[in-house]
Amino acid sequence: MMPVRLTVALALAAAAFWATPAQATSCPPPPDVSGQTYEQAVEALHSRFGYGVVTVPDPVPPGTSFVSSAETVSCNEFKITRVQVYLEGQVPDLTGMTLTAATAEAEKAGFGVTTQQPEATGDWKVAQQTPAPGGRLAYGQAVSLLLDGSTEVPYLIGRTVAEARRMAADRGLTLRGADDARDDQIVEDQDPPPGEDELTIGDAVDVVLSEVSPVSPSVSPTVSPPVSPPASPDDSPSPSRPESPQSEESPEASPEAVPTVAFSGEETGSRTRAGRRSGKACHEPDHRPESGHGRPRAL
């Protein structure tokens, strides 16, 4: 006869065995919302059935998200209380972008990137991607990229070193042979020749430079017109006197009028007598100094 304790233990173990599968399948699956947008799934699960909804990832990335799958995560007496939905998004178009730009764009949309070209640098460009642009991928997964590192050799002959460096950098290339060169030196030759070969981004173009910098065109100096100093008051021209009008001469010259000077006193009488004796009229004025009593008077 088996002991009582052993019998009880076996009974409990059997009960647990038969109860476990039933308990594991006691929570029913949620309604199928696969392929619906996130907004449509929330409307069906929460608004219609009253289930709580959690998402993977959380928070939901910007843009349109779709439900890839859903599962019940909790229930109460065979009734669903919470559903977890797994979201996926649309892959952006990364073709033509550099690896650096494509990585940033994919991360902004909620994805990563991967490539099988470990030698690639950030300047290599995306030639192909999987999934294709617009395809769906679970958030957090990586977009597979095929990169193209080839670039066309630019025409550098005749350019200054500064211009050649800039043109090469635009193609992801560098210059070899111009480390100590002046910016104004001229590229006389290059290898490989322009347009014939393609290089890989990161390669260098060999250049041969001129020994003498180009002669800058001479610029004739600008000559300013002389500036006259301001006129001083002393240098200002004096106004000219108006010329007195000259009277027209008559055809026959008139005799000049001889002024007669009258003298007073004895001096006048003596001069008169002397004139009579000499028989000549006193027509000329006396040039001797005049006294203050008499002044010449015009006749």
Structure tokens at 106: 């994919």
Given a cut of 50, whether residue 275 has pLDDT beyond it is: no
Per the structure, the count of domains in the chain is 3
pLDDT value at position 211?
A: 80
Q: How many residues does the chain have?
A: 299
Full-model pTM: 0.56
Residue 135: give the domain boundaries.
91-148
**Residue 69 above 80 pLDDT?**
yes
- Work out the percent of the chain whose per-residue pLDDT is above 90: 55
- Written as six digits, the tokens of 99 are 């690896």
Tens of pLDDT, residues 35-49: 999 999 999 999 999
Average pLDDT over every residue of 95-121: 96
Taking a C-beta distance cutoff of 8 angstroms, is the pair 195, 205 a contact? Answer: no
Instruction: Dump strand ranges (E) for 121-238.
Output: 125-130, 136-138, 142-148, 150-152, 174-176, 187-191, 198-200, 204-209
Residue 156 within any structural domain of the chain? yes
Which among 148, 165, 194 is the end of a domain?
A: 148
Residue 245 lies in a domain: no
CA distance 236 to 230: 10
Say if residue 104 is in the same domain as residue 119: yes
The first and second tokens of residue 132, run together, are: 């294709």
Contact in structure between 207 and 176 (CB atoms under 8 Å): yes
